[in-house]
Amino acid sequence: MCGIVGYIGDTQAADLLMEGLSRLEYRGYDSAGIAVLNGNGLDIRREVGKLRNLAKEVAVNAPKGLIGIGHTRWATHGRPTTTNAHPHTDTLGQLVVVHNGIFENYLEIKHELIKDGVIFLSDTDSEVLAHLVARSYTGDLRLAVQVALSRMHGSYAIAVLHQDHPDLLVAARNGCPLILGIGAEENFIASDIPAILNHTRQIIYLEDGDIAEVRQRSWSVFNLQGERQHRDQTTIEWSLVAAEKGGYDHFMLKEINEQPTTLAQTLGGRMGEEEGRVYVDEFGITDEQLRRIRQIVIVACGTSHYAGLVGEYYFEQLARIPTTVEYASEFRYRKPVVDGDTLIIGLSQSGETADTLAAIREANNLGGLTASILNVQGSAMSRETQGTLYMRVGPEIGVASTKAYTGTVASLLLVALHTAQVRGHVTADFVRETLGSLRQVPSWIEETLAEVGAIQDLAAMLHTFRNCLYLGRGVNYPTALEGALKLKELSYIHAEALPAGEMKHGPIALLDADFPVIAVATKSAVYDKTLSNLKEVAARDAVTIALGTRGDERLAEVVDRVIYVPETPEIISPLVNVVPLQLLAYYVATKKGCDVDQPRNLAKSVTVE
Ligand code: F6R
């Protein structure tokens, strides 16, 4: 989704803006632009496509000035064109705005402004704000932004620059991420930390409804009524190297390979093996509340949704609590049955996904207990839920989620174990044993990553197909769903997933030699049934590939190819089994020459509904 960077200080702004935007590329975008105040007025540069197009334009004749704002745009209103790219100006060209989010009532205000004689140059909702700020401006830029924003409904992070105020950046947020970066003799604004981490580790997270005035040596935050707000500074501990590729060809490959480490971080300090208990206090739901709840509803999108399906299995199997997993985008439109004894858990890597946030807000309005499992610290969802268990997997830059999936699944298992124990469904011995297995997950994943050669061979065979069917059962049905999602989003091969037993009820009609089938067939309670399903597939001439438990020779007799993973307890197996499917999707996509870190049409954090 769009990215914003702003700078005021004693260095040429254009250089810092371009560097900041390049660190936000992972968010997904289709055009980019910067505006710098150069002493005479605003120097604006905008280009469609990759940032390198803008960099070329800037390199020819760089805008000169010590204050500026920049933006990467992911088209929502209006096509990705230069005129729709940000920054947008008012009619006199005295001010510029950049905007991330959607102004839902922009058409109504646009018509009002057109009646007043304003001529619009773009199709965007964002341009409305530029004209509205200009109309409200009487010398005080923050006040003008405040008045303009009071007319707009929807989500936004914005930054505004006015030629009469070469010492001031105004920024505001409501529903979209925005931070201030505090430096020595310079200050920044940005959508996300990596954009400015090279220059400062002192961050202020703006909250919804905040308007900030940022100057070279000072900053202040106000609310939409103009009252001053107190905001704390946070020191960021991440290294920039942690947010960069670390020697791999792509962020995604780095992130897949990081999983032994990231899972150790997720689990670290939370496993009381000696006592036979789990420590998840940050989740924020008291033992008393956990005893009382009568149902759990998990709300999430995409990969987080599939992680939630594994969680459903955990909460039902271990804690015996009826659990459903909802597409967050559907949740609030179906009059959900929620009361004070319902626990609603939001799952989100970014913590900013608009649909999941809206579902959590709805759950809060209905009086449910809400908690979240997130990755990005200080993100909006953490402020809307009673507690947040952070998965602690570090910045995920590749657009396709990998380490956040395993981080979410492991976090769900910890919470489910704790809930089950509090409700008296599992003993300390069971918890101890499960934690003992969890502790081995990093080394099991290491072993799985070592199968890379076999996976590359498989990718070389698969990359020419146009369709692919994934099968799984039980706790590994979500693994099949996640494998299919990875393949389709990275390689653009049509891929679907089914519970293996469902295939014979219709979809089997699709199968022939051009329709390969990939099945998760590791040892489990449903292994024999999966094997029978695979025999049905093999009888239709489809190429059959299975993920199997090391040493399982029976499987090799039924299918064409087997990728082996170490033997793991069934409850743990989704954490290990997903890894070869992530790698497979990665290698099929790279074989096809696809942009794995930024697949077409996708954005890292989907902050519009
Ligand atoms: C797929 C993917 C998306 C996200 C989804 C939710 O690889 O990354 O499906 O999982 O957009 O994002 P978060 O977890 O940030 O709420």
The per-residue pLDDT for 244 is 62
Confidence category of residue 183, pLDDT binned at 50, 70, 90: very high
Mean pLDDT of 425-441: 96
> Can you tell me which atom of ligand 1 is nearest the CA of 400?
7
Q: Same domain for 159 and 256? A: no
Q: Same domain for 303 and 432? A: yes
Confidence category of residue 246, pLDDT binned at 50, 70, 90: low
Would you say residue 583 lies in a domain? yes
Confidence category of residue 243, pLDDT binned at 50, 70, 90: low
Confidence category of residue 152, pLDDT binned at 50, 70, 90: very high
Q: Same domain for 456 and 437? A: no
The per-residue pLDDT for 409 is 98
Residue with tokens 């070592």: 450
Pairing of strands 295-300, 323-327: parallel
Adjacency order of strands within the sheet including 517-520? 494-499, 467-472, 517-520, 544-549, 561-565
Q: How many CA atoms lie within 13 A of 558 on its CB side?
A: 21
Asked if 73 contacts 32 with a C-beta cutoff of 8 angstroms, the reply is yes
Q: Same domain for 236 and 333? A: no
Q: How many DSSP H helices and E strands does the chain contain?
A: 19, 27
Residue with tokens 């390049």: 22
Residue 172 has pLDDT above 60, yes or no: yes
Q: How far apart are CA 209 and CA 101, in angstroms?
A: 14
602 CA from centroid of ligand 1 (Å): 10
> Can you tell me which atom of ligand 1 is nearest the CA of 408?
14
Would you say residue 598 lies in a domain? no
The closest of 193, 236, 199, 198 to 26, measured between CA atoms, is 193
Q: Which amino acids are annotated catalytic?
A: 2, 604
SS (H, E, C) 455-495: HHHHHHHHCCCCEEEEEECHHHHHHHHHHHHHHHHHHCCEE
Higher pLDDT, 177 or 88: 88
The per-residue pLDDT for 110 is 96
Would you say residue 601 lies in a domain? no
Neighbouring residues of 2: CB distance < 8 A, sequence distance ≥ 6:
27, 29, 71, 72, 73, 74, 86, 98, 99, 100, 101, 191
Q: How far apart are CA 50 and CA 576, in angstroms?
A: 35
Dihedral, CA atoms, 317, 447, 534, 555, nearest 10 degrees? -110
The per-residue pLDDT for 74 is 75
Tens of pLDDT, residues 331-368: 988 899 999 999 999 999 999 999 999 999 999 999 99
CATH number of the domain that 216 lies in? 3.60.20.10
Residue 242 has pLDDT above 80, yes or no: no
Hey, which residues does 371 pair with through a beta bridge? 345, 387
The residue whose CB lies within 8 Å of the most ligand 1 atoms, and thus the one to mutate among 349, 373, 412, 597, is 349
Q: Same domain for 60 and 111? A: yes
Mean pLDDT of the chain: 93
Q: Same domain for 20 and 74? A: yes
> Can you tell me which atom of ligand 1 is nearest the CA of 302?
9
The per-residue pLDDT for 503 is 87
Q: How far apart are CA 189 and CA 99, in angstroms?
A: 13
Asked if 280 contacts 418 with a C-beta cutoff of 8 angstroms, the reply is yes
Q: Same domain for 191 and 214? A: yes
Q: Same domain for 352 and 464? A: no
Would you say residue 538 lies in a domain? yes
Would you say residue 124 lies in a domain? yes
- 416: which 2 tokens? 């489910």
Q: Same domain for 363 and 431? A: yes
Q: Same domain for 54 and 191? A: yes
Confidence category of residue 78, pLDDT binned at 50, 70, 90: confident
Task: Name the residue at shortest CA distance from atom 11 of ligand 1.
Answer: 302
Instruction: Please work out whether the CB of residue 401 comes within 6 Å of at least one atom of ligand 1.
Output: yes
The closest of 190, 192, 193, 197 to 212, measured between CA atoms, is 190
Would you say residue 26 lies in a domain? yes
Complete DSSP assignment for 352-400: --HHHHHHHHHHHHTT-EEEEEESSTT-HHHHHSSEEEE-------SSS
- 14: which 2 tokens? 């254009």
Instruction: Please work out whether the CB of residue 382 comes within 6 Å of at least one atom of ligand 1.
Output: no
Residue 519 has pLDDT above 80, yes or no: yes
% of the chain exceeding 70 in pLDDT: 97
Mean pLDDT of 458-475: 96
Q: Same domain for 470 and 370? A: no
Q: How far apart are CA 179 and CA 177, in angstroms?
A: 7
CATH number of the domain that 546 lies in? 3.40.50.10490
Q: How far apart are CA 496 and CA 428, in angstroms?
A: 40
The per-residue pLDDT for 204 is 96
Residue ending a domain, among 372, 407, 442, is 442
Instruction: Please work out whether the CB of residue 252 comes within 6 Å of at least one atom of ligand 1.
Output: no
Would you say residue 600 lies in a domain? no
DSSP letter assigned to residue 120? P
Q: How many CA atoms lie within 13 A of 582 on its CB side?
A: 29
Task: Name the residue at shortest CA distance from atom 5 of ligand 1.
Answer: 302
482 CA from centroid of ligand 1 (Å): 11
The residue whose CB lies within 8 Å of the most ligand 1 atoms, and thus the one to mutate among 27, 176, 299, 303, is 303
Neighbouring residues of 366: CB distance < 8 A, sequence distance ≥ 6:
336, 338, 339
Count how many domains the chain has: 3
299 CA from centroid of ligand 1 (Å): 12
> Can you tell me which atom of ligand 1 is nearest the CA of 399?
8
What's the whole-model pTM score?
A: 0.76
- The amino acid at residue 251 is F
Q: Same domain for 463 and 360? A: no
Would you say residue 602 lies in a domain? no
Task: Name the residue at shortest CA distance from atom 7 of ligand 1.
Answer: 400
Residue ending a domain, among 393, 417, 442, is 442
What domain range is 190 assigned to?
Answer: 3-241
Instruction: Please work out whether the CB of residue 304 comes within 6 Å of at least one atom of ligand 1.
Output: yes
